[in-house]
C-alpha cells in the first residue's frame, strides 16, 4: 500500500471511530447533568417521579458510558497508531490538555462507580446527589480538554518554528488558542442540548406507545425546557463561532458559504446545489454573511479567491453547515412552540403528530452533532495542523490500515447493535408503572420491618 | 533525579498499577468462565461481580493514563511505536472494547447467555498476550528502519522464543495475581467455598508463573546480552522478589493471613517490574530510542509534572473513598448491601 492509500484509509478509519464515538461521548457529557437536575428537582419537590427519572436515566447511562469508554480508548490509541508524526509533534506542544483529560476521565470513572452503587445507602438523599457533581464535572471537563486539543489543530499557537525546529514552547498559550473559547462552549452546550432532546424523545415515545403516565409527561416537560435553554445558547455561541471563523479561518467560512469573491455586504447562501462554480436553487439573504461574520452589513468578507488552490477545503462542507444550522433552528422552534403551547394550553401540543416531532427531534439533534463535527473537521483540510502540518505528512507508513478499517467497522457494528438491543430490552422489561409499584411494595415492607 | 527519570518513573508506576488491577480483572473473567465450564459458577459468580462492578471502569483508565502519558513525556515514542504497533494494538483495542462493553451489557443490561461468559473469559487472556508484545519489541531486534520509517518484522517476532516466553509469562502472572487477590477477597467476604476454590487456583498457578519469569531472564541472555548483564546487576531485587513469592505461597498453603499474602504478592511484582524497568534504562526502544533523546521539552515536562502532582492530590482521596465504600466495606463485600442503581 502506498502512502496515499495509507493516508486515505487512516482518514476513513479516524472519521469512522470519531463519528461512532461522539454519539456515546455526547450522551456521556450531557446526561449526567440531566440526571443531576432531575434528582435535584426530585429532592426539592419531594417528588418520587423525578428521583425515578434520575434512576432510570442512570441505568441506561451506564450502557452508553461503557461504549463511550471503550471507543474513547480506541480513538486515544488510534491517534498514535494512525498519525504517529502528528502525535510526535503535538506531544511536544499540547500533551498537557490530553493529560488533563485523562484525569477528568479518572474522576468521572471513580465517582460514577460510587454513584451507581450507593442508591438508598444514605439516609440523606442530598449526599447521594453530591456524588453526581464530580461525575458531571469530570464528563464536561474531559470534553473541555479534548476540545482544546482540537481547537489547537485549528489555530495552533504557543510555539515558534526556527529553521524547522520547534522552540519557545508555552503549553498554556497553546491551550488558550483563539479557537478554544467558542469551540469548547459550543461542544458543551450542544452536548447538553442533544442529551435533553434525546431524553425528551424517549419520554414522548413512551407517551405515544400506550403509557399515559404522568411520569413521562413530567420527563418531557423538564427535558424540553432544558433543551430550549441549551439550543438557544447553542445558536448564540454558534454566532460567535462564525465571527471567529471570519477572523481566523476565513477559508473555512468562505468554503462553507460558497463565498467565491471577496466583497463588502456579502450575502448569505442558504441551501442550493453547486454546479462547477455556479450556485443553483439557493436562497440568498443579502448582507447576512457580513452580519454573521462582523455584525456589520457592509463589512468585507474574504472570499475563496484570496487562497491558493491547495489550501482550500472541499466545498461540499456547505451542505454540512446548512444541515447543522437547520437542525439547530428547528429544535429551537420545536421546543419553543411546545413550551408556549403548554403555557397557553394549546391542545395540539398533546397531539400524536407533535409528539412524533419530539421523538424525531432526539435523533435529529444527534445528526446535528455529527454533521457539525464533519463540517469543522473537513473544513480544516488539507491541514492537520492548520498552516503547519498537512494531513498527508502526518499519517502512518504502515501498510495494514485497510485491514484495520474492516476490523474496527465490524467492532462498531457489534457495539452499536449490542447497545441498542440491551437498552431497549432493559426498559421494555421494566416499565415505569412496574417499577413504581415495586418501590411502593418495598417501602411498605420496610415500614413493616421496623 | 532528572525530569526524564521522574517522567518514566511515574509512567512505570501507572503501568504497574494497570498490571495489578487488570490482572485481577482478566483473571476474574477467566476463572468465572472456567467455573461455569466446570459447573461451579454459583460458587464464584457473586464474589467476582461484587468486586468488579464498581471498579471496572477505573481499571481501563490506568491503561489510558499510561499511553497518554508516554506520548506526553516521550513524544518520539509515538513515532516508533505508533508506526509499528498498528496491528497488535488494534487487536488489543478491539478485544478490550468487546470485553468492556459486554461486561456492562451483562451486568447492568441483564444479557446473560453462556457463550458471552466464555468469550469474556477468553478475551481476557488474549489482551495481555497482545499487549505484552510491546515489551518484546522494546528489547530490540524486531524493528528495522525502512526508507519510509520503522517497520516491524512479523516473521522474526512470531518465531522468536522471547516473544512466546513473554506471552506465557503475562498469562501465568495474570492468573496467579488474580487468584491470590480473589482468595483474599472471598475470605474477607466470609465465602468459604469460593475461598477454597480460588486458593487452589492460586497454588496451581504459582509455580508456572515463577518458572516463566526465570525463563525470560535466560531468553534475554541470548537475545539482548547488554540488557541481561544489567538485569544481573540487580540480582538482589529479584532475590527479594522470589522471597516475597515464597512468603505468598507459604501463607496460602497454611491458609493464613490472605491479606498479607496479597501484599507480599504486590511487593513481589513491584520489585520484579521495577528491576526489569531499571535494567531497561535508558532505552525505550533498543537501540533506537532512549528516554533522553525522546524526551519532551522542559516547559512541557514541568507542566505535566505539576498537573500530575495536582491530579494525584485529587485522585488518591477519591480512590480511597472508592475502596472505603466497596472493597473495605464489610456489609457491601459480604453482600448485605447492594444498593445498585
pLDDT of residue B194: 84
Residue A347 falls inside a structural domain = yes
DSSP 8-state assignment for residue A166: E
Closest CA to A135 of A241, A62, A74: A62
**What distance in Å separates residue A118's CA from the closest CA in chain B?**
5
Q: At what angle do helices A401-429 and B86-109 cross, to 10 degrees?
A: 0
Closest CA to B327 of B181, B145, B159: B181
- Nine-digit cell string for B297: 521539552
Say yes or no: ipTM exceeds 0.90. no
Tell me whether residues A69 and B57 touch, CB distance under 8 A.
yes
| Phi and psi, residue A122, nearest 5° | -95, 140
Buried b (16+ CB within 10 A) or exposed e, A246-266: bebbbbbbbbbbbbeeeeebb
A1, pLDDT greater than 60: no
Residue B36 falls inside a structural domain = yes
What is the span of the domain harbouring residue A84?
A: 1-262+302-447
pLDDT of residue A450: 46
Are A100 and A399 in contact by the 8 Å Cβ rule? The answer is no
Tell me whether residues A95 and B72 touch, CB distance under 8 A.
yes
A274, pLDDT greater than 70: yes
Residue A227 falls inside a structural domain = yes
Is B116 near chain A, with CB under 8 Å? no
d(CA A64, CA B248): 40
What is the span of the domain harbouring residue B223?
A: 1-333
Residue B341 falls inside a structural domain = no
Residue A276 falls inside a structural domain = no
d(CA B222, CA B236): 22
Residue-wise pLDDT for A72-99, tens only, equals: 999 989 998 999 888 888 888 888 999 8
- Nine-digit cell string for B109: 443490561
Residue B48 falls inside a structural domain = yes
Q: Given the C-alpha cell 460558497, which residue does it identify?
A: A258
**Residues of chain B falling short of pLDDT 50:** none
Residue-wise pLDDT for A308-366, tens only, equals: 888 889 989 999 999 999 999 999 999 999 999 989 988 888 888 999 999 999 999 99
What are the residues facing B34 on neighbouring strands?
none
A387, pLDDT greater than 80: no
Residue A6 falls inside a structural domain = yes
Q: Which of B:26-85 have CB within 8 Å of A?
A: 53-58, 60-61, 63-65, 67-69, 71-76, 78-85
What are the residues facing A284 on neighbouring strands?
A269
Domain total in chain A = 1
pLDDT of residue A449: 52
All residues of chain B having their beta carbon less than 8 Å from the beta carbon of residue A58 are: 341
pTM of structure: 0.90
How does the average pLDDT of chain A come out, rounded?
88
pLDDT of residue A293: 82
**Residues in chain A, overall count:** 450
Are B85 and B152 in contact by the 8 Å Cβ rule? The answer is yes
- Distances in whole angstroms, Cα of residue A12 to Cα of each of A320, A411, B164: 17, 15, 34
Q: Is B87 helix (H, G, I), strand (E, B) or coil?
A: helix
Residue B157 falls inside a structural domain = yes
Residue B340 falls inside a structural domain = no
Residue A382 falls inside a structural domain = yes
Residue B338 falls inside a structural domain = no
Tell me whether residues B75 and A88 touch, CB distance under 8 A.
yes
d(CA A74, CA B86): 12
**Residues in chain B, overall count:** 341
Q: Read out DSSP for B25-82?
A: HHHHHHHHHHHHHTT-HHHHHHHHHHHHHHHHHHHHHHHHHHHHHHHHH-HHHHHHHH
Domain total in chain B = 1
DSSP 8-state assignment for residue B327: I
pLDDT of residue B1: 67
Q: Given the C-alpha cell 490500515, which residue does it identify?
A: A401
Closest partner CB to B300 (pick from A71, A84, A92): A92
CA angle B92, B184, B272 (to 5 degrees): 55
A44, pLDDT greater than 90: yes
All residues of chain A having their beta carbon less than 8 Å from the beta carbon of residue B289 are: none
d(CA A103, CA B263): 27
- For the segment A422-441, the average pLDDT, to the nearest whole number, is 82
How crowded is residue A442: how many other Cβ atoms within 10 Å of its Cβ? Answer: 10
d(CA B272, CA B249): 17
Interface probe, candidates A91, A175, A384, A420, chain B, greatest B C-beta count within 10 A:
A91
Residue A287 falls inside a structural domain = no
d(CA B286, CA B230): 14
A102, pLDDT greater than 50: yes
What CATH number has the domain bearing residue B308? Answer: 1.20.1630.10
d(CA A126, CA B227): 57
Q: Is A330 helix (H, G, I), strand (E, B) or coil?
A: helix
- Between B197 and A135, name the one with better pLDDT: A135
Residue A285 falls inside a structural domain = no
Residue B32 falls inside a structural domain = yes
pLDDT of residue B111: 67
Closest CA to B248 of B235, B264, B237, B234: B264
d(CA A171, CA A175): 6
Amino acid at each position: 500500500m502506498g502512502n496515499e492509500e495509507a493516508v486515505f484509509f487512516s482518514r476513513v478509519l479516524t472519521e469512522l471511530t470519531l463519528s461512532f464515538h461522539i454519539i456515546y461521548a455526547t450522551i456521556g457529557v450531557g446526561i449526567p447533568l440531566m440526571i443531576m437536575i432531575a434528582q435535584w428537582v426530585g429532592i426539592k419537590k419531594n417528588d418520587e417521579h423525578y428521583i425515578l427519572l434520575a434512576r432510570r436515566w442512570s441505568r441506561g447511562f451506564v450502557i452508553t458510558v461503557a461504549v463511550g469508554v471503550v471507543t474513547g480508548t480506541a480513538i486515544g490509541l488510534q491517534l498514535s497508531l494512525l498519525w504517529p508524526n502528528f502525535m510526535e509533534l503535538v506531544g511536544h506542544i499540547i500533551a498537557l490538555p490530553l493529560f488533563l483529560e485523562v484525569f477528568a476521565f479518572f474522576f468521572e470513572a471513580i465517582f460514577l462507580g460510587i454513584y451507581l452503587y450507593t442508591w438508598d445507602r444514605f439516609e440523606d438523599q442530598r449526599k447521594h446527589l453530591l456524588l453526581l457533581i464530580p461525575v458531571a464535572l469530570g464528563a464536561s471537563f474531559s470534553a473541555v480538554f479534548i476540545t482544546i486539543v482540537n481547537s489547537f489543530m485549528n489555530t495552533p499557537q504557543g510555539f515558534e518554528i526556527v529553521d524547522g525546529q520547534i522552540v519557545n514552547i508555552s503549553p498554556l498559550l497553546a491551550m488558550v488558542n483563539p479557537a478554544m473559547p467558542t469551540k469548547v462552549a459550543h461542544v458543551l452546550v450542544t452536548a447538553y442540548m442533544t442529551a435533553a432532546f434525546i431524553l425528551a424523545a424517549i419520554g414522548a415515545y413512551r407517551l405515544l406507545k400506550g403509557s399515559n403516565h404522568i411520569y413521562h409527561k413530567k420527563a418531557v416537560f423538564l427535558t424540553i425546557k432544558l433543551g430550549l435553554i441549551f439550543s438557544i445558547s447553542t445558536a448564540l455561541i454558534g454566532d460567535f463561532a462564525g465571527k471567529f471563523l471570519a477572523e481566523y479561518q476565513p477559508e473555512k467560512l468562505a468554503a462553507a458559504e460558497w463565498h467565491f469573491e471577496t466583497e463588502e455586504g456579502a450575502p448569505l447562501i442558504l441551501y442550493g446545489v453547486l454546479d462547477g462554480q455556479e450556485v443553483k436553487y439557493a436562497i440568498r439573504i443579502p448582507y447576512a454573511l457580513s452580519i454573521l461574520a462582523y455584525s456589520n452589513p457592509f463589512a468585507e468578507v474574504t472570499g475563496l479567491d484570496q487562497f491558493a488552490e491547495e489550501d482550500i477545503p472541499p466545498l461540499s462542507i456547505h451542505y454540512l453547515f446548512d444541515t447543522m444550522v437547520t437542525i439547530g433552528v428547528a429544535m429551537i422552534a420545536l421546543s419553543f412552540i411546545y413550551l408556549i403551547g403548554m403555557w397557553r394550553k394549546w391542545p395540539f401540543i398533546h397531539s400524536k403528530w407533535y409528539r412524533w416531532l419530539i421523538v424525531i427531534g432526539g435523533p435529529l439533534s444527534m445528526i446535528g452533532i455529527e454533521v457539525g463535527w464533519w463540517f469543522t473537521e473537513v473544513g480544516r483540510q488539507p491541514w492537520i495542523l492548520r498552516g503547519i502540518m498537512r494531513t498527508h505528512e502526518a499519517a502512518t507508513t504502515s501498510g495494514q490500515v485497510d485491514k484495520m478499517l474492516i476490523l474496527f467497522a465490524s467492532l462498531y457494528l457489534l457495539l452499536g447493535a449490542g447497545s441498542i438491543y440491551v437498552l431497549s430490552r432493559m426498559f421494555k422489561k421494566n416499565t415505569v408503572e412496574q417499577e413504581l409499584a415495586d418501590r411502593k411494595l418495598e417501602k411498605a415492607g420496610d415500614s413493616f420491618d421496623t | 533525579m532528572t525530569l526524564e527519570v521522574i517522567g518514566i518513573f511515574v509512567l512505570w508506576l501507572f503501568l504497574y498499577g494497570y498490571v495489578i488491577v487488570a490482572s485481577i480483572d482478566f483473571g476474574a473473567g477467566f476463572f468465572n468462565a472456567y467455573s461455569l465450564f466446570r459447573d461451579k459458577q454459583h460458587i464464584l459468580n457473586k464474589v467476582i461481580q461484587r468486586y468488579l462492578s464498581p471498579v471496572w471502569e477505573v481499571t481501563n483508565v490506568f491503561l489510558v493514563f499510561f499511553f497518554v502519558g508516554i506520548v506526553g513525556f516521550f513524544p518520539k515514542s509515538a513515532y516508533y511505536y505508533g508506526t509499528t504497533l498498528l496491528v497488535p494494538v488494534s487487536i488489543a483495542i478491539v478485544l478490550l472494547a468487546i470485553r468492556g462493553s459486554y461486561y456492562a451489557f451483562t451486568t447492568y443490561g441483564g444479557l446473560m447467555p453462556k457463550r458471552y461468559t466464555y468469550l469474556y473469559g477468553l478475551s481476557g487472556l488474549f489482551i495481555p498476550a497482545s499487549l505484552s508484545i510491546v515489551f518484546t519489541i522494546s528489547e530490540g531486534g524486531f524493528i528495522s528502519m525502512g526508507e519510509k520509517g520503522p517497520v516491524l518484522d512479523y516473521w522474526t517476532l512470531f518465531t522468536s522464543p522471547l516473544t512466546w516466553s513473554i506471552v506465557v509469562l503475562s498469562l501465568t502472572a495474570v492468573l496467579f495475581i488474580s487468584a491470590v487477590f480473589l482468595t483474599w477477597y472471598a475470605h474477607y467476604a466470609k465465602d468459604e467455598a469460593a475461598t477454597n476454590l480460588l486458593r487452589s487456583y492460586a497454588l496451581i498457578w504459582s509455580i508456572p508463573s515463577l518458572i516463566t519469569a526465570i525463563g525470560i531472564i535466560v531468553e534475554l541472555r541470548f537475545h539482548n546480552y547488554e540488557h541481561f548483564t544489567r538485569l544481573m546487576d540487580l540480582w538482589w531485587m529479584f532475590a527479594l522478589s522470589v522471597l516475597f513469592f515464597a512468603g505468598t505461597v507459604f501463607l496460602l498453603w497454611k491458609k493464613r493471613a490472605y491479606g498479607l499474602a496479597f501484599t507480599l504478592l504486590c511487593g513481589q511484582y513491584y520489585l520484579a517490574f521495577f528491576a526489569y524497568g531499571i535494567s531497561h534504562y535508558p532505552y525505550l526502544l533498543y537501540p533506537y530510542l532512549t528516554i533522553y533523546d525522546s524526551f519532551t521539552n522542559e516547559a512541557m515536562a514541568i507542566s505535566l509534572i505539576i498537573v500530575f502532582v495536582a491530579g494525584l492530590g485529587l485522585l488518591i482521596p477519591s480512590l480511597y473513598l472508592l475502596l472505603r465504600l466497596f472493597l473495605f466495606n464489610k456489609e457491601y463485600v459480604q453482600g448485605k448491601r447492594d444498593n445498585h442503581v
